[in-house]
Amino acid sequence: MLLFMLYHAHDEAVKPAAKTIPKRSEIAVSDTWDLSHLYAGDEAWNADFAKYEKLYPRYLEFKGTLTTSAQRLKECLEFDRELDLLVEKLGHYASLRGSEDSSDNANLSREARFMHLMTLAAETASFLTPELQSIPDATFEEFLQSPLLAEWNIKLTRLRRFKPHVLSEKEERLMAMASLPLGASHEAFSQLTNVDMSFGLIKNERGEEVELSHGAFSSFLVKRDPKLRREAFHQYYQEFDSHKYTLTATLAHSVKTGVFNAKARNYPSAREAALFGDNIPVSVYDNLIATVKKNLGTLHEYYDLRKKVLGLADLHFYDTYVPMVGNIEVHTSFDQACEKILSSLAPLGAEYCQVLGDGFANRWVDRYETKGKRSGAFSSSSYSSPPYMLMNYKEDVFSDVYTLTHEAGHSMHSWFSQRNQKFQDYNYPIFLAEVASTFNEELLTHHLLQTTGDKNMRAYILNRQIDDIRATLIRQTMFAEFEKLTHEMEESGEPLTLESFRAVYRKLLDEYHGKGLVIDDVLELECLRIPHFYGAFYVYKYATGISASLALSEGVLQNPAANREPYLNFLKSGGSKFPLDTLRLAGVNMSSPAPIQSALDLFKRRVKELAELL
C-alpha cells in the first residue's frame, strides 16, 4: 500500500549585452511560490524526514496479522494513512524545490535522500499488499461489510482488483528495491535536457542576443519573421542532434522498463498495464486513434489555409504556431492574464473564482523562467497544502495565458477534491485531471470571443482554439500512437535504435500531417525530446480530456444554472469512482467515440469559420 507522490555575451560598446535567463535569487519573491504552507524551511523538512525514518519500521508490527480481524486491518490502514500523509508532504516539498533549480546540489541531495528513504520503506512494507491479497475471498467480503472498515471500502475494493497482478512477498520486495533504478530514464532525461544541454545565443527581432532555451524556443516559434522561426528551430534541434544517441538509449530503456514491469506483474502488455488502474478498456485508446485518423483531412485543409494566409511557398513545422493574423501583437502581463482567466471562469460561480483569485494573489504560482528551473508547466498538490503551479510565463506568448488557466484547472480540481473526499479517496487519476484543465481553456476561449468586437482579434482567437485542439487532441493522439507502436516493438523483440525510433516517428509525421507540411529530417528527433515519452501512456489522456471537456463546457456555457453543480460535483468527486463512471455521471460517455468525433466536428467548423473570416 505505502503510497507517495511520486551564456553570457559581451561585446564592448558594439552590441547590447545578451539577455540571459536570471538566477532565482535575482527575481522578486512575490513572483515565486510560497512553500511555507508545506514547511517553514529546510530544517522543518529535515525534522519530518527524521520522524518518518523512525516511524516506517513499525510496518513490521502488522506483518502476519492482517487476516486476523477487521479491527487489525483497520489499525494497519490507519497507520498507513498517517505515514502516507507525511510522506506526501515530504515528497511534495522535495519535488517543488527540485523544480526550482535542478542544478542546485541541496535540491538534488534532498530528492535523492527522499527517494532512498522511500525505497527502504517500500521494501519494509512490501509484505502488505501480498498479505492483504492472500485474505480468502469470503473473509475479505466479510471485512468489507464491517462498519469498522466503512471508510476504507472504496480503497479495499480497488486494491482487490489487482490480485492477479500482485507477486509474492519476496518478489514484491525485489520490485520495490528495483523501483529507483528502473525509474532512472526520466531523471536522466530531465537532467540532460534541463541542465546539461545548452542551446547557445540567438538574435531576436530587435537584433539583441538572447539565450535560447526551452521557454525561449516557444517564444521564437510565434515570431512573425519566418527566418527567426527557422533559425531558432534548427539551432534548438542541433543540440538534440548532438545528444541523440544518449537520448535514444534513455528512451529505449524507458520503454524496456515499462515492458518489464508489465511482464513481471502478468499483464498482457505495457499498455494494458498502464490502463488497468483506471479501469480503462483498450478500446477507448484504440477508438481515439481510429477516430482522429479518420478526420485528418480537416487538419490538412487547415495547413493549406495557413500556408496561403502566411504567404509561404512551403509550410514547415516551425510555421505552425505563429498566429495567422499578422497585425496583432499580443503582450499580456501575468496580472492581466489572471484577470482574463477569472472573468472567463465566472460561469463556475463565486466560490471557484474567489478561491482561485486568492491563490493567484497569495503565491500559488511560481511565475517566470529562471536558471535551472524545470521547463514547461505543471500543477502539483498534496492533501495538507494549497495546490502549486509552476509556470515559465512569457508576456509575448499568448498561449501562456491558456497554460496558466490549464494549470489552474488542475489546481482547483485538487482544491475541491481535498475538501470533499477522505485522504484515501481524494487523489483523482490523470484521465480526469485533463478534463478539468482543458475545460478552463474552453471557457477562456468563449470569454475572449464574447468580449471582442474586433474582426482580427476574433480571427486570432479562433486560430488559437484551432491550434489548441490540433495540439491537444490530434498531436497528442499521434504521440499516443508512437508510444503504442514502440512498446509493441519491444514486446515483439524488435530493436529500439535511433534508426527505428526515427523511422516510426517519420511515418507518423507523414501520415498525420499529409503533403501540406514539409517535414524537415531533424523533426524526426522530436520523438527524443517529449518528456512524457519517458513515462509512457499519459498523453492519450490529454486527447480524451479535451474531448470530454468540450462537451462539459458547452453544457455549462449554455445553461450555467442547470449544469454548474454537476460539473462542480465532478471536481469534488476526486478519485472516489473510476474515471469513466465519474464522467458518465457528469453526462459524457467516453466509452464511445462520440465525444471525440464531436470535438473534431468543432475543429472542422472552426477551420471553416476562420477561412471565411480571413
- CA-based diameter of the chain, in Å? 84
Whether the Cβ atoms of residue 411 and residue 364 lie closer than 8 Å to each other: yes
Q: What is the pLDDT of residue 228?
A: 96
Q: What is the pLDDT of residues 223-272, one digit of tens each?
A: 999 999 999 999 999 999 999 999 999 999 999 999 999 999 999 999 99
Helix or strand run (H / E) with residue 170:
helix 169-182
The pLDDT, as a whole number, for residue 179 is: 87
**Exposed, middle or buried, 515 (CB in 10 Å: 0-12/13-18/19+)?**
exposed
Distance CA(439)–CA(350), nearest Å, equals: 17
H helix count then E strand count, the chain: 26, 5
- Give the mean pLDDT of 9-27: 60
Question: pLDDT digits over 49-84, tens only?
Answer: 999 999 999 999 999 999 999 999 999 999 999 999
Q: In this structure, is the dihedral angle defined by the CA atoms of residues 494, 496, 497 and 503, taken in order, positive or negative?
A: positive
Spell out the domains of the chain, with CATH numbers in brackets: 24-182 (1.20.140.70)
Query: What percent of the chain has pLDDT above 70?
Result: 96
**Is residue 9 pLDDT above 80, yes or no?**
no
Q: Residue 462: pLDDT above 50?
A: yes
pTM score, whole prediction: 0.80
Q: pLDDT band for position 15 (50/70/90)?
A: very low
* 483-513 confidence digits (pLDDT tens): 999 999 999 999 999 999 999 999 999 999 9
Average per-residue pLDDT in the chain? 92
HSE toward the beta carbon, residue 319, CA cutoff 13 A: 23
pLDDT of residue 3: 33
Judge whether residue 557 has pLDDT over 70: yes
Catalytic residue status for 407: yes
The pLDDT assigned to 327 comes to: 66
Looking at residue 8, what is its pLDDT? Answer: 28
Instruction: Give the per-residue pLDDT at 20.
Output: 81
Q: What is the predicted pLDDT for the residue at 16?
A: 38
CA atoms within 13 A on the CB side of 254: 25
What are the residue ranges of helices labelled H in 422-513?
A: 423-426, 430-450, 455-469, 476-491, 498-513
The span from the CA of 260 to the CA of 242, in Å, is 29
Residue of 100, 131, 407, 442 marked catalytic: 407
- % the chain with pLDDT above 90: 86
Residue pointed to by grid coordinates 527505428: 500
CB 148 within 8 A of CB 74: yes
Query: b/e string for 98-137 if b means 16 or more Cβ within 10 A?
Result: bbbbbeeeebbebbeebbebbbebbbbbbbbbbbbbbbee
Q: Is the pLDDT of residue 454 over 90?
A: no
**DSSP string covering 332-383, please?**
--HHHHHHHHHHHTGGG-HHHHHHHHHHHHTT-EE-S--TTPPSS-EEE--T
